[in-house]
Amino acid sequence: MSRRPAQAPVAQRLSRATRRLPAPLAVVDLRAFDRNAEALVARANGKPIRVATKSLRSRPLIERALGVPGFEGLMCYSLREALWWAREGLTNLLVAYPSVDLLALGELASEPGLRGAVCVMVDSVEGVDLIAKGVGDPRGLRVAVDVDASLRVGPAHLGVRRSPLRAPEQVEAVVRRAQEHGLAVVGLMFYDAQIAGLPDSSPVVRRVKSRSDAQLSPRRAEITDLVRQLADVEFVNGGGTGSLHVTGLDPALTELAAGSGLYAPTLFDGYDGLGLEPAAFFACPVVRRPADDVVTVYSGGYVASGPVGGSRLPQPLPEQGLQLLRAEGAGEVQTPLRGRAAARVELGDRIWFRHAKAGELAERFTHLALVDGDEVVGHAATYRGEGQSFG
């Protein structure tokens, strides 16, 4: 059973809470956010969850998640982002993607306090050599090795295109090269995107996800055992919001990762038993009435990354009785909506939407209004609001 959609009073409640704030605006429902955090922890089989910062992109909300028992450490998407957090006093920072930012790598290598707080990702001998040649003294830099966790069925590749490392001997070659340069290999990462990021849309998809886990688990165990013989491994990371309940059962893993589930965007509506509540919304004001059954809102073109298609478009809350026009979608400056409810909508009314993905919404706003019930109780700066842009 998929989780319940937004309930009828949400749009009215949010409009009432934010009536004194200008729109467009974005909000986070703190009660839903906190319940989602508890739900994710409950699915993690007792393993700690590393907060995926790309899915929140707001320091106050990331810190709020870290305050929930069961969440430990950050999974950053940029090395410069990790350095920013480290200079704010945080440790246990994993950069989930390889970096070729030699200036940032040089900063990491030159400051002892940063070295101990940040772990960077590698997935090739070439990447290890780049780090070693690009910084003055790479010795002691902490690295983790990203291992391909996709499903292979014959020539078919099911999953995202990330690491080229799949076989144990390939992983071993990278570990040994890192050690030759004096790098400290302290972690492994296996991101099972075809489980974590794929909604349970059909019996076929469910079988693919089950087969993927069955194929990945023994390979993950074999590679983990091998690397533990070569290095002092501190953590083995895997999973995401959509796979915590599956990946968390693997004894080879020491920790999981999640972030999107805290906001619960529309891409997570189709998961079996996920039990999350929409927590992030944005509103745009009605500025035109081009036809009796059409109203147009200002802005709204917050299209998510990924394969082009309707699943990447923001969606108005269904209780409002309005839908995007297929011919126009969500626009850069204005977004038309059609529905019988248009006749009851007045200029200046707010139409509430949910974003398709999680943290990308924060790139559109400098602050997120924090709602508790039907009141705004504060504001949380986004990375953009703090003058930070990490790509």
| Mean predicted confidence (pLDDT) in 183-190 | 97
Helices 203-230 and 168-180, axial angle in degrees (round to 10): 40
Domain segments of the chain as ranges: 30-263
Yes or no: say if 366 and 381 are a contact pair by the CB < 8 Å rule. yes
Q: What are phi and psi of 363, to 5 degrees?
A: -75, -15
- What local confidence, expressed as pLDDT, does residue 210 receive? 81
Query: Which two three-digit tokens encode residue 12?
Result: 């009215």
At residue 1 the predicted structure's pLDDT band, cuts being 50, 70 and 90, is very low
**Number of CB atoms found within 10 A of residue 164's CB:** 14
Is the pLDDT score of 5 beyond 60?
Answer: no
Is the pLDDT score of 239 beyond 80?
Answer: yes
| Mean predicted confidence (pLDDT) in 46-70 | 98
- What local confidence, expressed as pLDDT, does residue 207 receive? 83
For domain 30-263, the CATH architecture is Alpha-Beta Barrel (3.20)
- What local confidence, expressed as pLDDT, does residue 3 receive? 44
At residue 161 the predicted structure's pLDDT band, cuts being 50, 70 and 90, is confident
- What local confidence, expressed as pLDDT, does residue 8 receive? 43
- Tell me: the pLDDT tens digits for 249-305? 999 999 999 999 999 999 999 888 788 999 999 999 999 999 999 999 999 999 999
Judged by phi (left if over 0) then psi (alpha if -120 to 50, else beta), residue 166 lies in: alpha
Q: Is the pTM of this model over 0.75?
A: yes
* Separation between Cα atoms, residue 35 and residue 256, nearest integer Å: 19
> What percent of the chain has a predicted confidence (pLDDT) above 70?
98
At residue 158 the predicted structure's pLDDT band, cuts being 50, 70 and 90, is low
- Tell me: the pLDDT tens digits for 296-324? 999 999 999 988 889 999 999 999 999 99
Mean pLDDT of the chain: 93
How many CA atoms within 13 Å lie on the side-chain side of 237? 28
Q: Among positive and negative, which fits the CA dihedral 381, 76, 83, 103?
A: negative
Is the pLDDT score of 338 beyond 60?
Answer: yes
Is the pLDDT score of 118 beyond 80?
Answer: yes
Q: Which of 14-18, 206-210, 268-272 tops mean pLDDT? A: 14-18
Helices 30-42 and 59-66, axial angle in degrees (round to 10): 40
Q: What angle do CA 183, 187, 192 make, to 5 degrees?
A: 135
> What percent of the chain has a predicted confidence (pLDDT) above 90?
80
**Number of CB atoms found within 10 A of residue 299's CB:** 18
